[in-house]
Amino acid sequence: MDWPRAKNILIIAFLGVNLLLGYRLWAGPVTTAGSPYGVTAREVREVTTQLRERGVVVAAEIPRRAQPLPLLTVKNPATGAATLIDRLLGPGAEVHSRDGVWVGVRGGEAVVVYPGGEVFYRRLPAPTGGHSVAYAAGGVPAPGGSATTPGVTVPDTSGAAVAASARAVQVAREFWTQRGGLPSGLEPDYQVPTETGRYLVVFTCRSGGQRFFASRAMALVGPQGVEEAYAAWPMPDKPSGNPRPVLPATEALLRVAPLLVEKGAAVVVEVQQGFYSPVYDAREWEAVPVWRVRLASGKVLYVNAYTGEVEGLEEPYPRQGQEILGRPEKQGTRAR
């Protein structure tokens, strides 16, 4: 046998295998269909089993494809706090500010505007022995408003629940329409019942076919209409750089599994790819591709699709505390 020749053939063969493995590690797992950005049905089942063993129940379809995405340039519209308060409360509100945070109160309503443009609305409790308050569309108090529009209560039967959910979306849309309108492109994202017998309705926008989760309007709808609301309107501008490979949804779930079960068992009700960034007090910044993981508890996690790190963690309606819509925990900084 020609041993020197055989040795050279083996060296070339091993080199080829190493190059192939290196490419797969860089590009991501390969599916049976030949796509380097997906996982097989078998891999999904294996990951689901691993998650169940860790205390995470997946009650949602896990996406098998992970679309390569670039960063996303985001611009913040220059809208003054006074303008936002006027839109939500109407002219004549009592307004004061401290450390860049503006607060407006009129009649039975209050609005808080943060430096980055985030807006929080709350209907104030009626004063004891006070006079009745007229309501605008959505059942939201508005001095001089029209008769009340019925709100919703989470029902017991499944058929009634569907109708109540649709009604909650309608009430939330009416609220934002009368209070200055939803920003261009915002559309219904999801709505969920809360433990307090209300519905949380969320609108977000899209960019390049992907949802941009940071631009959104939220409303907590109860029997008397919208009780609390939150909005932030940074708008997607254009891609920043070239599309890059991202982690599959299965890998993102495995990375954050310990965080999901921090306070007991978790049930995943949605896994969706998109873009996310906290809202900054800046003119322009970049949002990263993420996997949004929604839990049955109401908690929402945004997992960086490049690194697997948590970009944002939100509890839209905490079990404890007075505020139903909490501010996101902001991690990192990309403002410029």
What is residue 202's predicted lDDT score, i.e. its pLDDT? 94
pTM: 0.78
d(CA 249, CA 45): 13
Which domains, from first to last, does the chain contain?
26-72+239-314 (no CATH), 76-234 (3.30.310)
């996690």: which residue's tokens? 301
**pLDDT one digit per residue (tens) for the chain, 336 residues:** 555 554 454 445 444 434 433 443 344 443 333 345 689 999 999 999 999 999 999 999 999 999 999 999 999 987 889 989 998 999 899 999 988 889 999 999 999 998 888 899 999 876 555 433 333 333 333 333 333 446 777 666 667 778 888 999 999 999 999 888 777 778 999 999 887 788 999 999 998 889 999 999 999 999 989 999 999 889 999 999 999 999 999 999 999 999 888 767 799 999 999 999 999 989 999 999 999 999 988 889 999 999 999 999 887 654 332 343 444 444 443 444
Task: Check residue 116 and give its pLDDT.
Answer: 87
The reported pLDDT for the residue numbered 29 is 40
Compute the distance between CA of residue 316 and CA of residue 283 in angstroms, rounded to an integer. 26
Cβ atoms within 10 Å, residue 31: 17
pLDDT at residue 316 in the model? 64
d(CA 279, CA 93): 26
Query: Which residue intervals of the chain are DSSP H helices?
Result: 3-27, 41-53, 81-89, 158-178, 249-260
Structure tokens at 46: 């294996």
- The three-class DSSP label of residue 69 is strand
